[in-house]
Amino acid sequence: MAEEGWEPKIVAFCCNWCSYGGADTAGMGRFQQPASTRVIKVMCSGRIDPLHVFNAFLEGADAVLVTGCHIGDCHYVNGNEKTEVRYEFLEEMLQQLGLEPDRLHLNWISASEGERFANFITDVTAKVKELGPSPLKPAGVK
């Protein structure tokens, strides 16, 4: 458990066409969500390499979210299907490593699903706050 007032740092990879739009919509719709998330925009969730996720954790992220378009809606046809396959390996590996499963999530969110995005962030932030700082967090990162 963390000290009083500790706020988790969450890195969310969002695709340009859907989930980033969803994050935008959440903002415009003034849906309440904690300010815990740092968004990294990629053109397609298929661009996300497990290395990016490792890097985020090693640099001090308490949780990493991989988000993109719903299956069938990918702007590049099947980029997100590749994400799904890669995510399976990544999730398995991090679980084997002993990282708490609640620190890594995959979620398909469309550009119009602002409330859904906000709820997702709120949910994850609460869970990670419970878990405390990531065991992979290096010295000097709160």
Partner 1 sequence: MVNVGDMLVGYATNEDVRKRGASGGLVTAVLAAALEKGLVENVVVMKHINEFEAVPIITDDVDEVLASTGSLHSVPVNLAKYAMGRKVAMPAKPCDTQAVIEQAKRGMIDLDNTYVVGLNCGGSMHPVTTKKMLVEMYDIDPEDVVGEDIEKGKLIFKTKNGEEKAIAIDELEEAGFGRRESCRYCTLKIPVNADLACGNWGVIGDKAGSATFCQVMNDKGVKLLDNAIEAGRIEVEPASDKAIAIRAKVNDVMVNLGNTLEKEIFPEIPDEERMQYYMEPMADCIDCGACKEVCPVCACGEDSKCTMFHSLVDNYKMSMYHMVRLLHLSDSCIACGQCSDVCPSDIPITLLQSSFAIPSQRKREYTPGMNVDDVPPFFEVILK
Partner 2 sequence: MIGNVYQTVCPGCNMGCGLYIREDEEGALAVDFMKSSPANLGKLCRFGMKLAHHYSKATSMVDGKEASVEDAVKAASDKLKGADVTMLGVGNTTNEESLAFSKVADALGTVVNTGMGVYSELPTECHPTVGVGITLDEIESANRIALFVDPYIQYPLLVRRILAAKKIGASVVSVGWKDLHLADENRYIDPDLYESELGLDSESVIIADVHPNTDPGWVKRMLNLALKTQAKILFMKPFVNATGVDLLCKGTGQKGISEIMDGINEGSIKTLVTLNSDPIELMPDSDAAAATLTKLDNLIVISSRDGPVNKMADIVIATEPLYAKAGSFMNVEGLLLNNSGESTTGIDSMSTLSQNLGGEAMDYQNLHNNVLESIVQKYTKPKYKELTCEVLDIGPVEEKGNLIYLYNPFMWFDQSDDNDFVMVNMNMVNKLGLSKGGMIALTSDAGTVNMRYRVEDMPDGLILTAKKLPVATEWTTIVSTEAV
Q: Which residues bind partner 1 (CB under 8 A)?
A: 49-51, 54-55, 58-59, 78, 81-82, 85-86, 89-90, 92-93, 96-99, 135-139
Q: For the chain, what is the radius of gyration of the CA atoms?
A: 15
% helix, strand, coil for the chain, step of 5: 45, 15, 40
What residue 135 binds from partner 1, partner 2, none (CB within 5 to 8 A, per partner kind)? partner 1
Q: Judged by CB under 8 A, does residue 139 bind partner 2?
A: yes
Q: Judged by CB under 8 A, does residue 5 bind partner 2?
A: no
Q: Please identify, using beta-carbon distances, which residue of 97 and 126 lies nearer to partner 1.
A: 97
CB of 141 to partner 2, least distance (A): 9
Which phi-psi region, left, alpha or beta, contains residue 141 (left: φ > 0; alpha: ψ -120 to 50)? beta
Contact string (CB under 8 A) for partner 2, positions 83-122, x = contact: ----------------------------------------
- Cβ density class 108-119: b for 16+ within 10 Å, e for less: bbbbebbebbbe
User: In this structure, are residues 110 and 71 in contact, taking their beta carbons and an 8 Å threshold?
Assistant: no
Instruction: Give the residues lining the site for partner 2 (CB under 8 A).
Output: 138-140
